[in-house]
Amino acid sequence: MSYIAKPKITHPGMPKNKLGLTSSDYEGTVSTLCAGCGHDSVTAAIIQAVFELGVEPHMLAKMSGIGCSSKTPAYFVNQAHGFNSVHGRMPSVTTGANAANGDLMYIGVSGDGDSLSIGVGQFVHAIRRNINMCYVIENNGVYGLTKGQFSASADIGSKPKKGEPNNQEPIDPVSTALSLGATYIARSFSGDKEQLVPLLKGALMHRGFALVDIVSPCVTFNDHEGSTKSYAHTRQFYHHVIDIDYIPPAEEIKAAYAEGEAMPIEMHDGSTIVLRKVDKDYDLTSRASAFKYLREHFNAGEITTGLLYLDESRAEMHELMGNINTPLSQLPLEELNPGSAELKKLQNRYR
Amino acid sequence: MSTINDVVIKVATVNGTGSASANGLLMKSIFRMGIPVVGKNYFPSNIQGLPTWYEIRVTGAGYQSRSNRVDVMVAMNAQTYTQDMADVAPGGWLIYDSTWPRDQLFNRKDITVIGIPFSKLCNENFDGVRARILMKNIAYVGTVAALLDIDLDVIVKLLQETFAAKAHLIDSNMQAIRLGYDYANNNVICPLPMHVEPMDKTSNSVIMDGNTAAGLGCMYAGATVGAWYPITPSTSLMDAFRSFCSRYRVDPETGKNTYAIIQAEDELAAIGMVVGAAWNGARSFTPTSGPGISLMSEFIGYAYYAEIPTVIFNVQRTGPSTGMPTRTQQCDLLSCAYASHGDTKHVLLFPSDPEECFYMAPKAFDMAERLQTPVMVMSDLDIGMNDWMVPELEWDESYVPDRGKVLNAEQLEEMDKFYRYLDVDGDGIPYRTLPGVHPKGAYFTRGSGHTKLGAYTEDAAAYQDVVDRLLVKWETARGILPGPEIQYSKLNKSGIITIGSGGGACKEALDRLAVEDIGLNYCRIRSFPFNKDVADFIEQHDVVYVVEQNRDAQLRTLLINDIEANQRKLVSLLHYNGMPINSGFVVSRVLEEIAKGRTA
């Protein structure tokens, strides 16, 4: 949402992706968020992910609602179409856009207020429809633009900058998504780019609804002692469950994994996600055991991160609706209109 | 004295007993005899058990609106018997199920009461509770056929078509028809002096409701994405669209659909989906009613300001709040014209019957894409859910959809730089691009303040520049929207202005007033913002009666607000009890105003 053009910095030595573009080709305008905001780190991770994936910029659709997080699509990939919609309604706009043209890659950037308070209805129904999109929640537990009110993701006992601690149960987007059947569920931290970038790549390439819940601290209103969404708190209670490496299609797995440490999973486009199991007891294909694990670690005050659930088998929205492969928006009238003779014929029923 | 082809039949039944097909059979039989008919369904917001009525007006003159009179009442519902008897016009007839005798106290001296033992006849001839209830309905069709002289062969043919796949049902239905028919013939002098005779006035017509016609129109217009949340009385519009699409929108090679219908979680989501799909270049729409418009308002304002083609069908019902969901009104004119916060105003189209619902569907998409703005088609329950006789629908093969100013890849390639909100042509309509077409076409769509170049702004002049340009577009809209239907004679100093489903009642009223030497000119508005012809019409008359179906004279308010019409000329005739307007109301209100000295 910035109106300050960002100077394009480039030099001949910059690495290029498969399209011959450099990472600076994936930048946006200058961020107007507070210095040190977690969201700016997420923006940088998104830029790195789409650059490394070699996404054609104009084939990316950047969707958002309202709030600090929802401003960020202006800060990455200038040559992509952006849609900054109304508060809490990004999922419906993305649903319609995707219904019209499933050939684009959709990234929705939302926040905890946008997705879990005002927009919780649209959030859950987008999951039920299994819309093919990457849904990022930049989760900081507060409303920034209106100066620090709690959102629905605030933990019990978390202290605000002013006033009383939160005493209502938080809505956890990960366990919510798990219960609703989301097909790719991840959590990460804006301060852990190494973990986050591969998770974003996997989410962008996953066919179906991919949630990436990212703890992204608000430096102005929720980064103090007693907050459970601060940098310090997150670093202290951060718990890696499964990290992943993303390997593009037709590329060999080059990293050396120790025996039994890594498990490759092939995705729909032929790419591979290599699971690096940090916690060997975790089964990311079972909703029941994942839910139990998440709950137990939540009760212990831990923030579980990594790829927490994956199901590559479920049909996404277009398949569920039985739609033709050609984007509906590209069908000419001749293919949609049965003509005057048929109109005459069908009216026999109305005589 | 006998009256031919001018009779109103009203059938009182209990909701959920299957009387709808019997009533349809009755009406279509008369229609097939070449006689114009009007069907009105008065039903409760209920699945089963509450009273419901169906009214068939046989109108050889071909009028379109309901009559406020009942000549033949078929009183099948004991619960409403007293009320139904009171509704019969003096000299009329009341038919009731005489299996159980009625208290003579209920009888009126000025009408003829005809008892037919429907239950007894059906219990003796059919097995099973359900069949007996259903056949009782078919039996009253037989009785009415005898009383009004409806051609039995026509009924047989209709039954054969309806039950083509279930031959045994033809026999049982025909048996029920005969039970009612023969009993009436043997016990009453048939036909009644008020009856029907074959004509040749329906051969080029169909009987259709407005929601079916609108759904069909959307399919023909090439709509590919429909998002909706079920709400009476708009639900059957999407049902119709789905039904037509399942037949005509399946790719023969792959068996896959060329349409997407999404049942949203609420109207907020439904409109969001429509906006998203339209942004991506699909013709998308949502059908809804008043409460849905309230929920959609935030997005409607967004689509206005971000300039996204959005088509909404508002099948209006009686408000405020939940109001009477199964009754009709034109009560959302103001809430739609100015839906959403901030300075917003929206294009409205006003179909008057199912025929116009069909033709206004492609028009709505054309206008929305041409003007890059929301367009609302303002139907109502009377148009949407009732059976209207309309001329057979035709499709013009030369139709080319107006997709508006959308730049393609070649045009973008040749451009130096694309700016989304520049008024290049001076008509207030900027050029748009679709995602995924060309890297140069990328822009950021936002509901926040933006400059004419599409950038975010909080600058006073840059903000105002864009909202002022939207006013230029508003004037462009005024010039290209469908103009009013006008009947004008220099002799008349007064006129009537109406919209939508008020048209039929007003036209009939003009005929009735002419008999009393009262001449009125006629103007039926078909769009908002108002065309210049509407302003001229008001200018040409000393008094203009504004006939609309709401309490607060919303159309009159719009006329004063949009074209600065002289409010002293505008006399409101308001019909807002939830029943469809009828000509008698218009006639008596005009006469009242004349008596007060309101006309020249």
- Alpha-carbon gap, residue A317 to A99, rounded angstroms: 8
* Residues of chain A contacting B275 with CB distance shorter than 8 Å: 85, 93, 96
A80 lies within 8 A of chain B by CB: yes
- Alpha-carbon gap, residue A227 to A160, rounded angstroms: 7
**Cβ pair A89:B269 closer than 8 A:** yes
| pLDDT the model gives residue B1 | 55
**Cβ pair A339:B397 closer than 8 A:** yes
C-alpha dist (Å) from residue B384 to A235, B265, B489: 60, 23, 32
* Residues of chain A contacting B253 with CB distance shorter than 8 Å: none
Tell me which of A78, A326, A329 to substitute to probe the interface with B (most B C-beta atoms closer than 10 Å): A329
* Residues of chain A contacting B208 with CB distance shorter than 8 Å: 347, 350
| Strand order across the beta sheet in which B93-97 lies | B37-42, B51-59, B6-14, B72-75, B93-97, B112-116
* Residues of chain B contacting A338 with CB distance shorter than 8 Å: 219-220, 248
Picking from A92, A325, A327, the nearest residue to B269 by CB comes out as: A92
Q: Please report, as a single letter, which amino acid is at residue A140.
A: N
Q: How far is B177 from chain A (nearest CA, A)?
A: 20
* Residues of chain A contacting B265 with CB distance shorter than 8 Å: 121-122, 125
∠ CA(B515), CA(B519), CA(B521), 5° rounding?
135
Residue B158 has pLDDT above 80, yes or no: yes
CATH 3.90.1150.10 fits B3-203, yes or no: no
The CATH architecture annotation of domain B208-391 reads 3-Layer(aba) Sandwich (3.40)
* Residues of chain A contacting B438 with CB distance shorter than 8 Å: 58
A32 lies within 8 A of chain B by CB: no
Which of these ranges, A235-239, A262-266, B385-389, has the smallest mean pLDDT? A262-266
- Alpha-carbon gap, residue A349 to B586, rounded angstroms: 34
- Alpha-carbon gap, residue B363 to B85, rounded angstroms: 45
| pLDDT the model gives residue B142 | 97
Residue A261 has pLDDT above 90, yes or no: no
What tokens were used for B185?
């013939």
Picking from B222, B257, B446, the nearest residue to A333 by CB comes out as: B222
**Cβ pair A323:B260 closer than 8 A:** yes
Picking from A84, A335, A344, the nearest residue to B445 by CB comes out as: A84
A145 lies within 8 A of chain B by CB: no
Q: Do domains B3-203 and B208-391 have the same CATH topology?
A: no
Q: Residues B167-180: pLDDT tens digits? A: 889 999 999 999 99
| Overall average pLDDT of the B150-165 stretch | 94
Picking from B257, B393, B436, the nearest residue to A347 by CB comes out as: B393
A100 lies within 8 A of chain B by CB: yes
**Cβ pair B224:A324 closer than 8 A:** no
Residue A2 has pLDDT above 50, yes or no: no
DSSP-assigned beta bridge partners for residue B42:
B53
**Cβ pair A92:B270 closer than 8 A:** yes
Q: What is the DSSP string of B58-97?
A: EETT---SBPS--SEEEE--GGGHHHHHHHSPTT-EEEEE
Tell me which of A32, A81, A131 to substitute to probe the interface with B (most B C-beta atoms closer than 10 Å): A81
| Overall average pLDDT of the B70-83 stretch | 94
* Residues of chain B contacting A321 with CB distance shorter than 8 Å: 257, 260-262
C-beta neighbour count of B434 within 10 angstroms: 22
B105 confidence band (pLDDT: 50, 70, 90): low
DSSP-assigned beta bridge partners for residue A223:
none
Closest among B76, B219, B265, B201 to A342, alpha carbons compared: B219
Q: Is A167 exposed, middle or buried (0-12, 13-18, 19+ CB in 10 A)?
A: exposed
Pairing of strands B494-499, B520-525: parallel
**Cβ pair B445:A321 closer than 8 A:** no
Residue A7 has pLDDT above 90, yes or no: no
* Residues of chain B contacting A322 with CB distance shorter than 8 Å: 255-257
**Cβ pair A97:B219 closer than 8 A:** no
| Overall average pLDDT of the B416-429 stretch | 97
* Residues of chain B contacting A346 with CB distance shorter than 8 Å: 244
pTM above 0.80, yes or no: yes
Q: What are the structural domain ranges in chain A?
A: 23-334
Interface confidence, given as ipTM, is 0.96
Picking from A74, A94, A104, the nearest residue to B444 by CB comes out as: A74
Task: Compute the CA torsion angle A185, A187, A193, A197 (nearest 10 deg).
Answer: 0
Mean of the per-residue pLDDT values of chain A: 94
Q: How far is A130 from chain B (nearest CA, A)?
A: 13
DSSP-assigned beta bridge partners for residue A246:
A273
- Alpha-carbon gap, residue B380 to B328, rounded angstroms: 6
* Residues of chain B contacting A78 with CB distance shorter than 8 Å: 442
CATH fold, domain A23-334, is: Rossmann fold (3.40.50)
Q: Residues B449-476: pLDDT tens digits? A: 999 999 999 999 999 999 999 999 999 9
What tokens were used for B320?
């405020």
Phi, psi of A196 (to 5 degrees): -70, -45
Tell me which of B444, B448, B457 to substitute to probe the interface with A (most A C-beta atoms closer than 10 Å): B444
Q: What is the DSSP string of A57-114?
A: GGGEEEEE-SSHHHHGGGGB-TTSEEEE-STT-HHHHHHHHHHH-TTSEEEEEEEHII
**Cβ pair A129:B276 closer than 8 A:** no
A323 lies within 8 A of chain B by CB: yes
Closest among B359, B371, B373, B438 to B404, alpha carbons compared: B371
**Cβ pair A328:B278 closer than 8 A:** no
* Residues of chain B contacting A101 with CB distance shorter than 8 Å: 280-282, 435-436
| Overall average pLDDT of the A67-94 stretch | 97
Q: What is the DSSP string of B127-155?
A: -SHHHHHHHHHHHHHHHHHHHHT--HHHH
* Residues of chain A contacting B28 with CB distance shorter than 8 Å: 351
Residue B390 has pLDDT above 60, yes or no: yes
Mean of the per-residue pLDDT values of chain B: 96
| pLDDT the model gives residue A4 | 62
* Residues of chain A contacting B160 with CB distance shorter than 8 Å: none
A169 confidence band (pLDDT: 50, 70, 90): very high
At a CB cut-off of 8 Å and minimum separation 6, what does B382 contact?
Answer: B40, B328, B501, B580
Q: Is B229 exposed, middle or buried (0-12, 13-18, 19+ CB in 10 A)?
A: buried
- Alpha-carbon gap, residue B214 to A187, rounded angstroms: 46
| Overall average pLDDT of the B517-540 stretch | 98
What tokens were used for A306?
């990594």
A330 lies within 8 A of chain B by CB: yes
Which of these ranges, A8-12, A179-183, A240-244, B353-357, has the smallest mean pLDDT? A8-12
Which of these ranges, A257-261, B95-99, B149-153, B452-456, has the smallest mean pLDDT? A257-261
**Cβ pair A93:B279 closer than 8 A:** yes
**Cβ pair A329:B206 closer than 8 A:** no
A79 lies within 8 A of chain B by CB: yes
Pairing of strands A272-277, A262-266: antiparallel
* Residues of chain B contacting A122 with CB distance shorter than 8 Å: 265, 268-269, 272
A95 lies within 8 A of chain B by CB: yes
A281 confidence band (pLDDT: 50, 70, 90): confident
Residue B346 has pLDDT above 90, yes or no: yes
**Cβ pair A93:B394 closer than 8 A:** no
Chain A residue closest in CA terms to B224:
A328
**Cβ pair A324:B248 closer than 8 A:** no
* Residues of chain A contacting B248 with CB distance shorter than 8 Å: 338, 342
Tell me if residue B314 falls in helix, strand or coil: strand
Q: Residues A313-322: pLDDT tens digits? A: 999 999 999 9
Picking from B206, B219, B272, the nearest residue to A350 by CB comes out as: B206
| pLDDT the model gives residue A34 | 95
Write down the CATH number for the domain with range B485-595: 3.40.50.920
Residue B264 — left, alpha, or beta (φ > 0 → left; ψ -120 to 50 → alpha)?
Answer: beta
Tell me which of A324, A335, A344, A346 to substitute to probe the interface with B (most B C-beta atoms closer than 10 Å): A324
Residue B84 has pLDDT above 60, yes or no: yes
Chain A residue closest in CA terms to B458:
A3
| pLDDT the model gives residue B600 | 45
Q: Please report, as a single letter, which amino acid is at residue B437.
A: V
Percent of chain B with pLDDT over 70: 99
A20 lies within 8 A of chain B by CB: no
- Alpha-carbon gap, residue B586 to B549, rounded angstroms: 11
A336 lies within 8 A of chain B by CB: yes
Tell me if residue A245 falls in helix, strand or coil: strand
B255 confidence band (pLDDT: 50, 70, 90): very high
**Cβ pair B456:A86 closer than 8 A:** no
Tell me if residue A135 falls in helix, strand or coil: strand
| pLDDT the model gives residue B599 | 54
Q: What are the structural domain ranges in chain B?
A: 3-203, 208-391, 409-480, 485-595
Q: Residues A107-160: pLDDT tens digits? A: 999 999 999 999 999 999 999 999 999 999 999 999 988 988 999 999 999 999
| Alpha carbon distance, N-terminus to C-terminus of chain A | 57
Q: How many contacts (CB atoms, under 8 Å) link A and B? A: 230
Residue B302 has pLDDT above 60, yes or no: yes
